[in-house]
Amino acid sequence: MSASTRTRRTRPAQFPWDLVGLVLLAVAVAFAPDLLKALFGRASVSYLSIATNALSLSILALSWDVLARTGQLSLAHAAFYGAGAYTTALLARHADVPLWIGIPLGGLAAVVFALLLGAATLRLRGIYFAIATLSAAEVLKAVVHHLPTGIAGGNAGMNVPTLFRPEFIAGQMERWEVAFLRNEAYFYVYATLLCMTVLASILVQRSRLKHAFTAIRTNEEVAGVMGVRPARLKLLAFVLSSVFVGMLGGVEAHRVGSVLPEQSFSVSTTVLALVTPIFGGLYTTLGPIVGALGLSSVQEGLRRVFSDGYLIGYGVVLVLSILFMPRGVVGLVGGLLRRRGKREAGR
């Protein structure tokens, strides 16, 4: 401990690029809606919707990556997402809880579920852990199905009120401006949630947790011998990973106006959470965000050109990226920059 303290004292202070990046991200999203409106007019409504979906994917991917840093291949993201969505919907329906309180409580419900799931599964390794976490969403879905319809809506699901309902004022605005105001508000909510997720990820990366997580990922037994407590830290990663995706589930339930078991506990949520950081670059804050923005752009661009055949192109991009960019986009770009730096230093 004293040695590490000495090391920290003698290490030259690094420029906080990550925090600067977070501030730049916050500034960029703050101006994005108005910029889109100025550039594209009514089409900004559509672009904001697409951007919001990309933000949603970023939150999903980054929160998954936080747990992946401990070496755990979690397939429980659909369960956390669904737990958040259903908690928010249930509170809105039965307890008349204000919508803005329901969303954090959705995150809290995901955390509680993550603690229970983590306590039961985190001593499992590899494929056994993955299978155990995959079943979590199915278990919650079955619970929702079997609860009385009057409680959770059963198979039919539940209506969830929208968070924003701007008024249309005839003669003073056009209809698309109402949609813009609604999308802008949702965009800011998603952006805030993303900034919170990024901040949590940065704090993990800047603390000793980063090294502890890496040690657990590299060799759990050795990490334990070195004084790291794998079970406790993996549980912490589980909690950090679940809280934001639980809140995301709550926000999304309001945005799409309903929760349905198949929609809220969909396995595709887990698949997206897993594929996106692999594409962007694992174990970093930037990688999952780059992955989400990159994959969203590729998918949207291909969709507009190739209609329904776009998924072939999307699949090819994913396969090629896994084959030729095993460390993701961020790893590839970082490697190229380092090589260039070395070349220039050698001249």
Partner 1 sequence: MIKTARFLTSLALAGLLGLASAQGVSIGILSPLTGGSAGTGQAQRAGFELALAEINAAGGVLGEPLRIIIEDTQANPAVGLAAFEKLMTEDDVEFIAGGFSSGVTLALVESFRTFQPIVMWIGGAVSGIGIDGFDGIEELIGEEDWFFHIHPWDYHNVGAATAFAAQTGSETVALLHEDSAFGGPGSAGAQALLEEAGMTVTLREAFTSTLLGGTGDFRAAISKAAATNADMLYWIGYDSDVVPLSGQIRELNFRPQHIFGAPPGWPTEFAAAPEAQCVTGLIGFMPNLTNPEAIAFTRDYRAMHGVDPDNYMAALAYANLWAYADAINAAGSTDQDAVIAELEAGTFRSPIGDWSFEPSVIAKHQGFGEDLWLVFQYQNGVREIVWPIEKATAPLVSCR
Residue 42 interacts with partner 1 (CB under 8 A)? Answer: yes
For partner 1 (CB under 8 A), the number of binding residues is 53
* DSSP 8-state assignment for residue 117: H
Residue 313 interacts with partner 1 (CB under 8 A)? Answer: no
> Tokens 């209506």, residue?
159
d(CA 73, CA 70): 9
Q: Which stretch binds partner 1 (CB under 8 A): 11-19, 65-73, 96-104, 263-271?
A: 263-271
Residues β-bridged to residue 258: 159
Which of 197, 125, 189 is CA-nearest to residue 163? Answer: 189
No. of helices (H) and no. of strands (E), the chain: 16, 2
Residue 175 interacts with partner 1 (CB under 8 A)? Answer: yes
CB 155 within 8 A of CB 144: no
Please say which residue, 35 or 119, places its beta carbon nearer to partner 1. Answer: 35
CB 242 within 8 A of CB 110: yes
Residue 257 interacts with partner 1 (CB under 8 A)? Answer: yes
Among 87, 182, 189, 328, which residue interacts with partner 1 (rule: CB under 8 A)?
182
Among 19, 21, 53, 188, which residue interacts with partner 1 (rule: CB under 8 A)?
53
Site string for partner 1, 91-130 (x = CB under 8 A): --x-------------------------------------
Provide the CB-side half-sphere exposure for 211 (13 A, CA).
7
Residues β-bridged to residue 159: 258
Q: Which stretch binds partner 1 (CB under 8 A): 111-119, 170-178, 197-205, 316-324?
A: 170-178
What percentage of the chain's residues is helix, strand, coil (to nearest 5)?
80, 0, 15
Residue 162 interacts with partner 1 (CB under 8 A)? Answer: yes
Residue 242 interacts with partner 1 (CB under 8 A)? Answer: no
Identify each DSSP E strand in the chain by its residue range.
158-159, 258-259
Which of 226, 218, 329 is CA-nearest to residue 284? Answer: 329
CB of residue 252 to partner 1, shortest distance in Å: 7
Residue 261 interacts with partner 1 (CB under 8 A)? Answer: yes
Residue 307 interacts with partner 1 (CB under 8 A)? Answer: yes
Residues that bind partner 1 (CB under 8 A): 38-40, 42-46, 49-50, 52-53, 56, 93, 138, 145, 149-150, 153-159, 162, 165, 168, 175-176, 178-179, 182-183, 252, 255-258, 260-263, 267-268, 301, 303-305, 307-308, 310-311
